[in-house]
Structure 1
Amino acid sequence: MNYKHLFSPIRIRGMELKNRIVFPAMGTKMATEDKFVTKQLIHYQAARAKGGCGLNFTEVCSVYSKAAPKKFLAISEDKYIPGLKDLTEAIHKEGGKAGIQLWLGGLAVGSDQSQMIIIPSPMPIPGTEFTLPGASLDTIKEAVEAFGDSARRAVEAGFDVIEFHAGHNYTPHSFLSPYFNRRTDEYGGELKNRARFLLECIDAIRSNIPEDMPLFMRLDAQDDYLDGGLTIEEVIEFCKMAKTAGVDVLDVSRGNFSSAAIKYEVPPIDLPRGFNVDNAARIRKETGMLTIAVGRINDPSQAEDILESDKADMVVMGRAQLADPEFCNKALAGKAEDIVRCVGCNQGCYDGFVSTEMPFITCLRNPALGREEEYQFSMTENPKKVLIAGGGIAGLEAALQLKKRGHSPVLCEASSSLGGQFALAGEAPRKGEMKEAALAMAEQVMREGVEVKLNTPVTKELIGELKPDEVFIAIGSAPIDLKIPGATLPHVTNSHDVLAGKSRVTGRAVVIGGGLVGLEVAEYIHNSTDSITVVEMLDKVAKDLGQLRNICVMESLYTGGVQTVTNAKCIEIRNDAVVVERQGNIEEIPCDSVVVAIGSRSRGFDDIKTYCKEEDIPVYVIGDALQARRALNAVAEANEAVRAIS
């Protein structure tokens, strides 16, 4: 397909972009503790510029020294200019344009308790007697000056464009929103007063940059889940004011972290692709301003359609380029089928960002994220024949990477199809993109010329026949059986068989297990059952879901009327009821069907491992075959194993 709109140039003041694709500001945890640019961050950004992106933005960059949390970039002092200049030069060297997102984080700065939280009005802290104070007039004045000073530094550092962040619950958005801004002075009340701080910041920025330098503004289309918050009509009126003040481009996002609307900031697979495009289109039409569409845009054809339909002038494709830094080049070259697609799992990007265990973000589809220098591609000088047992996502990833490095992988799958549990997970509601991704990986394996044998379980006899140099074991896991009376009754099945369409659940259903799989099965069977009760041993359901997927799944369960019972241990299954022990009491939950979803356990492979040891064949165990976990781990381990082969 010819993406003529997507890859057409656009001029904004004195800056010309070679295409309409924007790599947005996304948190990485790649900055130093004291807020400087790192080589890791430079390689990460340069890889996307090299991949053909038109415009790269830094992650949020603090403008005010009193409100600059650690591990976030800063431009609040001159000492940060050299590192930022190194970043812009690296992006320019790869043929891209560099943008900086100027940020005053408001409540988000609370991640670093040594820093000042700047909000418009006093805010009580739930569960404490403490109230965060509203900003003083002196603080407001200092913050405005900080934006201007930071804009000057951005010019010195060689940035091509500045973006003023006025969304996502940060300080400027909080001043604009009547939900947060309860001031009674000149910075509160009617819209023009609530907009005053933002317009002063815009004026300060504009006054410190060249006339031909563009100014973008990221903002929310509306306030979601906030009673009495911003409406899209108010946002449109504010945008008109911002246009007069000197803003050139609107980057129309959505969401806030004070409510369930945080799901819109890093939208998971549960939200429709392009869910916010129509808001951008309306704002564009009613303001007459250049506009960027944002929100689950992960396919070049989808992006082309948005532009061709005149709904936006540019598109943000962020996680799409986390998953595949060569996204733009592949689309431009007509090789869209080779793009590694983001599936909105949020496991590595958002969950990785908020996790205290992950040092920086990663990506289920791209373990090289944040390791761009370390993971530079190299062909092997010692090609080997590698037998891969298992055609799930770990086995497919291993096969692809081995083939690309010049080895000769032979992939054997015991079933009649490839994709494994990643494809099976795609049967759950709203997760079809995961199945599509698994099938696309299988097709790419075929295109790359990998030898694939279906309906072929790996045995020691097969290993003896094929005589591989190395063996990868990626045979996955199987559902754990429930060891209680009645577990083998005819009306009892397991989550895998339900999602695979092998078992039909009707009547009053009980799902045993309230983790991710159990809840998704509950959603899956909703239309075929009269009622659904999820039983969980722990004190709450959905403990293994990331925050944003958790919000979406729990909202769906609530809407569907699914009941949950926690702190409940199943002790027996009868023909008409599940018996549980709960807080020392025995209770019966009436049912006609039971689905067991208590987790998975690695499949056994001792005979294979023993044979390989006897024959001195190196063995690598990856994915659920090693331990049943998330797909993120499976793909990462496949890459590590491939890299370990000399």
Structure 2
Amino acid sequence: MKHLNLFSPIKIRGLELKNRIDFPGMGTFYTDDGGYVNDKFIHYHAARALGGTGLITTEATSVHAPSAPRNFLNISDDKFLPGLKKFTTAIHDAGAKVCVQLWQGGLTAPLFDPDVLRFIPSDITVDNLLGNPLPEPITFQGCAKEMIPEVEKAFGSAAKRAVEAGFDTMEFHLAHGYSPHAFLSPAFNHRTDEYGGSFENRARFPLECIQEIRRNIPDDMPLLMRIDAFDDYVENGLTIEDVISFCKLAKAEGVDVVNVSRGNPVSLGMKFEVPPIDLPMGYNVEYAARIKEETGLITIAVGRINEPNQAEKIIADGKADMVVMGRAQLADPEFCNKASAGNDDDIVRCIGCNQGCGSSPMTCTRNPAVGREWEYALQATEHPKKVVVIGGGMGGLEVAITLKQRGHEVVLLEESDRLGGQFYIAGLAPGKSEMKEAAISRGQQAIKAGIDVRLSTPATPELLDSLHADTVIIASGAHPIELNIPGKDLPNVLNSFEVLEGKVIPKGKIAVIGGGLVGLEVAEFVVDADKNNDVTVIEMLDEIGKDLASARRLCIMERIPEKNIHVKLGAKCVEITKDSVITSKDNLQDEVACDYVIMSVGSISNDTGALTAYCEERKIPYYVIGDAKKARKVIDAIAEAAEIARAV
């Protein structure tokens, strides 16, 4: 299937896009200090343009110099024009149209650069910023009225500069708690002058910004606007009816396209800005559909739209006119080319892990070349070798596929009867089936690439002798850590892998030792398996979920009380009995009654001594990578695999 609706052209005023896919603004932190374009920034975007997307949208681009964080893209002065012109030329040469996202960060800007001016409508007291709880609430002071025209003019000047720089269109950012959104929302705007109070007054500042932008761009240039469908997790926030009313006013002032997002930086709503795997795919599409129907605006849907068939159906069903597919194109910059050719099975899929896209600078678990596109461009080997890869987890698959792409002969040995390693097992946890599917898909891609994949095949000396390898890569993974405490060998003591794989289904009172990601997920797993299970997570640290990316942590922490999972913090497990776990805290012992104990205190590398000794005795070059080297996150294993595969 070639997804004919998704890859049909669309015309907006004088701009024609070759397909309905927008590669959106995402904070990369790639620019040079001060917000200047550099080659790294260009190569990153150009890779997605070459990959077939219709529209490239820059990350948030500062329009107002006094409030511009130094590590954000900037368009507030003519001094930025040379770099911006170089950027737009590169995107056009790569075959895409290009949009600049005009941004004034409001409350968020000083979080990234404490020296910048704060511009928010009124005093705001918050106890959570960008998903991080604060030791005590902080009050931010609202702006003086005299500043408002200055910022409005800055939007207009930036728009004029964008036209000169060669942008095809621009997007006015009115979402995520940034200043236009903050002025519009009664949750953030408590002013009593003509810019606050009634809906009409609160709409004044963003509408005046739109007027300034529209005055400074050609009539045939479309204007996009990013909005929140409504306000999440804040009192007295915008409703979808409010947003629809504002969109109609914005349309009258010259806005052509509305990009429907969600989220804000001061509440649990932050999880919607970079939505993790915990949120359903396409969770925001129905709100975009309603806004499209009631406003008549060309509408872009956003929110975990990762699959070609999913995106095609959204367009075909008339739910939206375009779709944002951002992280899908981080994971695979060739996403659009592959989907348009009907080669969906070749796509490396985003799985919403948020391990790389939530960091600064931005990376990607599935694609270590993000931000290193020029450096990591694959080079065919001039000296093909026979490489034996031991281990078919995600690191082993990454190194094997990359070596094959470079022209090496690759044999992959996997001791178990399936590929994907711990990533596959992680995909058995609640709401994480996309990880399991991604592991299966990557294995299938390895086989399709022509790699000699041998399952249920231990790497014995005899087999390795027969393969005559030039190089060996050991990616044999890790296994669960077993606490060395009395009672660890009792029959009611399990590890998290056994439970997630369904080898044992515990029932009754269950103690989970370890409050990291896997411990929390296995706790959810046993509750979902039987609502009558009574689960307690025992964690020796002062909080749970410390190893989680912020948005994932927000989601899981929200679910723990909803599922009545108990948490015992600061408690060290000292003994397991047939019906309890004994803990120690502040030299006082306590007891957690349980029928089963699930150990989930991390993993430790499998022993590679015999394999490394074999290679050293025969003078075969070898590498130990991924969890076999040191048990870490999957992003580390895949990144290491990608680096080694380019070095062989």
Q: TM-score, normalised by structure 1?
A: 0.98
Q: Distance in 2 between matches of 1:289 and 1:86?
A: 32
Cα drift, residue 124 of structure 1? 4.3
Cα distance change, pair 433–641 in 1 and its aligned pair in 2 (3 A)? same
Q: Distance in 2 between matches of 1:410 and 1:131?
A: 60
**2:489 counterpart letter in structure 1:** T
Where 1:506 maps in the other structure, the secondary structure is: coil
- Counterpart of 2:49, as a letter, is A
Provide the secondary structure at the position in 1 that maps to 2:279: coil
**Matches of 2:139 and 2:586 in 1, distance apart?**
38
Deviation at 1:18, TM superposition (A): 0.3
How far off is 1:129 after superposition?
9.8
Contact 2:542 2:569 in 1 (8 A): yes
Residue 435 of structure 1 is matched in structure 2 by 436
Partner of 1:333: 341
What is the one-letter code of the residue matched to 2:551?
A: L
**Is 1:344 aligned to residue 352 of structure 2?**
yes
Shift of 1:123: 2.7
- Look up the match of 1:196: 204
Aligned: 1:603 with 2:599: no
Alignment match of 1:298 (pick from 289, 293, 306): 306
Distance 2:437 2:151 in 1: 47
Cα distance in 2 between the residues matched to 1:160 and 1:12: 11
Going from structure 1 to structure 2, the CA distance change for 1:576 and 1:297 (only over 3 Å counts) comes to same
Q: Partner letter of residue 496 of structure 2? A: S
> Is 1:629 aligned to residue 637 of structure 2?
no
Which of 159, 175, 180 lines up with 1:167 in the alignment? 175
Matches within 5 A, 1:585-596: 585-596=588-599
SS of the residue aligned with 1:375? coil
Deviation at 1:106, TM superposition (A): 0.6
8 Å CA contact 1:215–1:246 kept in 2: the answer is: yes
Moved more, 215-224 or 126-135: 126-135
For residues 252-307 of structure 1, the C-alpha deviation after alignment (integer angstroms, 9 at most, x for no partner) is 00011110110001000010000000000000001011000000001111000000
Query: 1:158 maps to what in 2?
Result: 166
**SS in structure 1 at match of 2:224:** strand
In the TM superposition, residue 460 of structure 1 has moved relative to its aligned partner by: 2.5
Residue number in structure 1 paired with 2:562: 559
Aligned-residue CA RMSD (Å): 1.1
Contact 2:416 2:455 in 1 (8 A): yes
TM-score (ref. length: structure 2): 0.97
User: Which whole-Å deviations, capped at 9, do the CAs of 1:202-248 have from their partners, x for residues lacking one?
Assistant: 00000000000110000100000011100000000000000001100
Structure 1, unmatched stretches of 5+, are 354-359
Match of 2:140 among 124, 132, 136: 132
The more displaced of 123-132 and 67-76 is 123-132
Give the CA deviation at 1:397.
0.9
Q: Which deviates more from structure 2 when the two are superposed, residues 124-133 or residues 337-346? A: 124-133
Output the CA distance in 2 between the equivalents of 1:55 and 1:623: 36
Deviations 1:461-489 (A, max 9, x none): 32222110000100100111111111111
**1: CA distance between counterparts of 2:393 and 2:374?**
28
Could you say what secondary structure the match of 1:216 adopts? strand
**SS of aligned partner of 1:114:** coil
Match in the other structure for 1:244? 252
Give the structure 2 partner of residue 638 of structure 1. 641
Q: 2:424 matched to 1:416?
A: no
Residue 494 of structure 2 corresponds to which residue in structure 1?
A: 493
1:520-535 equivalence runs, <5 A: 520-526=521-527, 527-528=529-530, 529-535=532-538
> What is the CA–CA distance in structure 2 between the aligned matches of 1:311 and 1:469, rounded to whole Å?
54
Q: Any conservation in 1 of the 2:57–2:99 contact (CA below 8 Å)?
A: yes
Residue by residue over 1:16-65, the C-alpha shift from the partner in whole angstroms, topping out at 9 and shown as x without a partner, is 00000000000001011111001000001111000000000111100001
Mapped partners of 2:195, 2:14: distance in 1: 33
What is the SS of the residue equivalent to 1:302?
Answer: helix
Tell me which residue corresponds to 1:256. 264
Are the aligned partners of 1:26 and 1:60 in contact in 2 as well (CA < 8 Å)?
Answer: yes
1:252 is paired with a residue whose SS is: strand
Report whether the alignment pairs 1:93 with 2:93. yes
Could you tell me which amino acid in structure 1 is paired with residue 320 of structure 2?
A
- 2:107 aligns to what SS in structure 1? helix
- Is the 1:460–1:607 Cα contact (8 Å) retained in structure 2? no
Give 2:19's aligned amino acid.
N
Q: Is the 8 A contact 2:470 2:620 kept in 1?
A: yes
Unpaired segments of 5 or more residues in structure 2?
A: 128-134
Q: Assess, with a 3 A threshold, how the Cα gap between structure 1 residues 178 and 500 changes in structure 2: closer, same or farther.
A: same
- Give the secondary-structure state (helix, strand or coil) at the position aligned to 1:430: coil
| 1:151 counterpart letter in structure 2 | A
Matched residue SS, 1:58: strand
Pair 1:571 & 2:579 matched? no
Q: d(CA) in 1 for partners of 2:434 and 2:56?
A: 26
Question: 1:247 & 1:130 partners in 2: Cα distance?
Answer: 35
**Equivalents in 1 of 2:608, 2:109: separation in Å?**
49
| Counterpart Cα distance in 2 of 1:401 and 1:200 | 52
Offset at residue 128 of structure 1 (A):
7.4
Contact between 1:338 and 1:444, CA under 8 Å: does it hold in 2?
Answer: yes
Write the distance in 2 (CA, Å) between the matches of 1:125 and 1:428. 33
- Counterpart secondary structure, 2:630: coil
Q: Deviations over 1:562-612 (max 9, x none)?
A: 000010011111111111002221101111111000111000011110121
DSSP 3-state at the match of 2:578? coil
Matched residue, 1:51: 51
Q: Are residues 1:119 and 2:127 paired?
A: no
The one-letter amino acid paired with 1:65 is: A
The answer (yes or no) to whether the contact 2:257–2:300 under 8 Å persists in 1 is: yes
- Aligned counterpart, 1:210: 218
**Which runs of structure 2 are paired with 1:396-411 in the superposition (5 Å)?**
396-411=397-412
What residue in structure 2 maps to residue 620 of structure 1? 623
2:526–2:533 contact (8 Å) kept in structure 1: no
Q: What is the CA distance between 1:551 and its match in structure 2?
A: 0.9
CA distance in 2, matches of 1:421, 1:485: 27
In 1, are the aligned partners of 2:36 and 2:73 still within 8 Å (CA)? yes
| Mapped partners of 1:397, 1:129: distance in 2 | 45
Distance change >3 Å, CA 255–CA 124, structure 1 → 2: closer
Matched, 1:379 2:380: yes
Aligned residue number for residue 74 of structure 1: 74
Structure 1 CA distance, aligned partners of 2:467 and 2:606? 22
Give the direction of change, closer, same or farther, for the CA distance of 1:222–1:130 in structure 2 (3 Å limit).
closer
Distance in 2 (alpha carbons) for counterparts of 1:34 and 1:65: 10
Q: Distance in 2 between matches of 1:541 and 1:635?
A: 26
Cα distance in 2 for partners of 1:541, 1:65 equals: 40
For these two proteins, the number of residue pairs brought into alignment is 638
Alignment match, 2:131: none
Aligned counterpart, 2:156? 148
Q: How does 1:224-239 map to 2 (within 5 A)?
A: 224-239=232-247
Letter in 2 for 1:332: S
Q: 2:547 aligns with which of 544, 562, 566?
A: 544
For residue 546 of structure 2, what is the amino acid of its counterpart? K
Q: What's 1:308 paired with?
A: 316
1:179 aligns with 2:180: no
Aligned to 2:464: 463
CA distance in 1, matches of 2:461, 2:441: 30
> 2: distance between equivalents of 1:131 and 1:56?
37
1:384-410 deviation per Cα after TM superposition (whole angstroms, max 9, x unaligned): 100010011111111111111110110
Stretch moving more, 129-138 or 170-179: 129-138
What amino acid maps onto 2:610 in structure 1? Answer: D
Counterpart CA distance in 1 for 2:493 and 2:141 is 57
